[in-house]
């Protein structure tokens, strides 16, 4: 491969020059910032040369610009590299495709049409050419063969990368992240009222607002704040609530029920999606949905939740992860799980083949080996756990028995991502340093081979399975009879969507245009329905949405989705 040879020659020249300089009396410790390639490091780390900037085009990123903070320092030290993150804003993918250069490291939000188009256009690098992954991604090559093979199976027989959330074995399911977080302190104050369904939640939130009308900044409180950043075929928060409540997974222009292996369109009769829209409309009309939801960013959501401006989140990352700081918990305030008794949230099966969010390398990169080494590091146990919880020895480490534990700083950072990292010698907060590529390698529920058999996920570390540190958490444990969230979710109703080798079919340019027009109609009318001022207005908007969607290509989109659902069903059954 010409590009690999070009960079390898340059790399060898630099290495020889550095060796000559070292022989003339330079600091013998220079260059020790990186490990050998086989250990996931890069021999060029810390060699004194000008850093190399890699462009990372990520369809999952919510950030634009150079990676900063502690993760940037780690990558600079190990690889002498700076990552420039390019998110997939409106038209970015198409512009880069037309320019023939997607970037150095490329992350796809799915393995569907856009990934396939990039493969067919020759814009992605073959990971096996000149033994690229074997030589520069040794940890990937040794431990992720199923994921590499699966990628080849969906890419015309050639490996161009691998999918996210790779499992170390075909275990039952990943940890829940539809955890139904509520302000437990307020729930306790109200006397633990029974919550069976959507209606009970609305009544609960009304009472919570009565006793907690403003947040820590003196601004009005709400049940929650939704956000439009991640809207896809439907309004994200509404469709995710269907998944959290019924266990139906979002699938194309509707939902897949893993219990019956059946598909339902989002606008079908008795649609759970329309029911979810009605729930959010009821919240809005009762002043329980932040009115900025339709236009806000996720940064706004983080600030609002962290300030106690919300009572509820169906997601752990937009609830407890933002609110449960040391300060709040010491004050007797926490967000903890309370699943409506009629709900049956989804859990996702794990697979050694990985998921559909693809790590790849652009064919036009001048630094293929360096790209591979960076991705390889993110796949090593050190890299995976570091990018999740911070630098080893600073935020976490292993004890003498190989058990994982947080340092005091690491524990504080995990509970409050706005914690300053300056005392550890890094700039900014923990949040500033979180890797903005926004994709994963190993699932957090995979076994960390560098530990004494523990998962990467800290909820399962022996050091974390201790007596409750705060009275409010102990109150939740006594009420639920469970030690932690996973145990609680396992004790109730839930559905598992099994892992499978399914990959979405290609839509084609003409059909993709029809699809995009139809989904834009659904998303626009969905938000309008949420903001309706009466039952009559809500019903009118829903009728208009269905009528307009049908005037576009809803029927054709549903037929395509149903066919894909049959393929998914077959792929799931093939795994049994």
Residue 154 CA, distance from chain mean position: 22
What is the three-class DSSP state of 211? helix
SS3 per-residue string spanning 390-409: CCECCCEEECCCCCEEECHH
pLDDT of residue 229: 84
User: Which pLDDT score is estimated for 170?
Assistant: 63
pTM of the model: 0.71
| 340, 200 Cβ separation under 8 angstroms | yes
Contact (CB, 8 A) for 445 and 174: yes
Query: What pLDDT is stored for residue 517 in this prediction?
Result: 97
Task: Using the CB atoms, write b or e for 286-304: b if 16+ within 10 Å.
Answer: ebbbbeebbebeeebbbbb
One pLDDT digit (tens) per residue for the chain, 576 residues: 444 544 444 444 444 344 433 333 333 223 333 333 334 444 444 457 899 999 999 999 989 999 999 999 999 999 999 999 999 988 899 999 999 999 999 999 999 889 999 999 999 999 999 999 999 999 999 999 999 999 999 999 999 999 999 998 766 788 898 999 999 999 999 999 999 999 999 999 999 999 999 999 999 999 999 999 889 899 999 999 999 999 999 999 999 999 999 999 999 999 999 999 999 999 999 999 999 999 999 889 999 999 999 999 999 999 999 999 989 999 999 999 999 999 999 999 888 999 899 999 999 999 999 999 999 999 999 999 999 999 999 999 999 999 999 999 999 999 889 999 999 999 999 999 999 999 999 999 999 999 999 999 998 899 988 767 899 999 999 999 998 898 999 999 999 998 888 888 889 889 999 999 999 999 999 999 999 999 999 999 999 999 999 999 999 999 999 999 999 999 888 876
pLDDT at 267: 97
Note the pLDDT of residue 168: 86
């Amino acid at each position: 491969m010409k590009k690999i040879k070009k960079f390898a020659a340059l790399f060898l020249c630099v290495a020889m020059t550095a060796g000559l300089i070292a022989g003339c009396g330079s600091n013998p410790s220079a260059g020790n910032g990186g490990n050998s390639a086989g250990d996931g490091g890069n021999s060029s780390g810390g060699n004194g040369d000008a850093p190399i900037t890699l462009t990372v085009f990520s369809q999952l990123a919510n950030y634009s610009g150079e990676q900063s903070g502690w993760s940037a320092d780690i990558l600079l030290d190990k690889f002498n590299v700076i990552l420039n993150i390019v998110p997939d804003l409106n038209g970015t993918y198409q512009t880069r495709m037309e320019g023939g250069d997607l970037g150095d490291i490329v992350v796809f939000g799915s393995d569907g049409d856009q990934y396939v188009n990039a493969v067919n256009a020759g814009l992605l690098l073959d990971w096996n050419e000149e033994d690229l992954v074997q030589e520069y991604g040794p940890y990937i090559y040794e431990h992720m063969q199923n994921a590499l093979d699966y990628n080849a199976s969906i890419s015309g027989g050639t490996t161009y990368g691998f999918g996210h959330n790779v499992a170390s074995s075909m275990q039952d399911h990943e940890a829940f992240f539809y955890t139904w977080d509520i302000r437990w302190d307020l729930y306790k104050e109200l006397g633990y009222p029974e919550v069976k369904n959507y209606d009970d939640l609305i009544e609960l939130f009304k009472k919570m607002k009565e006793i907690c009308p403003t947040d820590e900044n003196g601004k009005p409180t709400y049940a929650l704040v939704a956000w439009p950043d991640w809207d896809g075929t439907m309004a994200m928060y509404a469709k995710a609530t269907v998944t959290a409540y019924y266990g139906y997974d979002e699938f194309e222009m509707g939902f897949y029920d893993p219990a019956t292996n059946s598909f339902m369109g989002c606008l079908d009769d008795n649609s759970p999606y329309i029911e979810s829209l009605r729930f959010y409309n009821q919240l809005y009309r009762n002043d329980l949905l932040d009115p900025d939801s339709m236009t806000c960013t996720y940064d706004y959501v983080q600030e609002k939740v962290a300030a106690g401006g919300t009572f509820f989140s169906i997601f752990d990352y937009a609830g407890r992860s933002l609110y449960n700081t040391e300060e709040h918990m010491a004050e007797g305030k926490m967000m903890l799980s309370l699943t409506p008794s009629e709900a049956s949230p989804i859990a996702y099966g794990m697979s050694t083949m990985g998921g559909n969010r693809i790590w790849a390398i652009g064919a036009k990169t001048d630094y293929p080996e360096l790209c591979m080494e960076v991705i390889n590091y993110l796949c090593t146990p050190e890299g995976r756990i570091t990018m999740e919880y911070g630098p080893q020895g600073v935020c976490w480490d292993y004890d003498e028995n190989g058990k994982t534990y947080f340092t005091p700083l690491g524990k504080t950072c995990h509970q409050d991502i706005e914690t300053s990292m300056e005392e550890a010698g890094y700039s900014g907060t923990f949040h500033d340093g979180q890797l903005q590529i926004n994709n994963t390698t190993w699932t957090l529920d995979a076994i960390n081979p560098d530990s004494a058999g523990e998962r990467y996920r800290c909820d399962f570390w022996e050091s974390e399975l201790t007596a409750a540190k705060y009275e409010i958490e102990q109150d939740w444990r006594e009420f639920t009879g469970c030690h932690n969230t996973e145990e609680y979710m396992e004790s109730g109703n839930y559905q598992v969507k099994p892992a499978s080798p399914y990959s979405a079919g290609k839509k084609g340019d003409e059909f993709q245009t029809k699809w995009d027009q139809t989904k834009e109609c659904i998303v626009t009318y969905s938000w309008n329905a949420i903001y309706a001022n009466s039952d009559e207005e809500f019903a009118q908007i829903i009728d208009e949405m269905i009528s307009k969607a049908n005037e576009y290509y809803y029927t054709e989109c549903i037929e395509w989705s149903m066919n894909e659902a049959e393929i998914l069903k077959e792929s799931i059954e093939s795994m049994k």
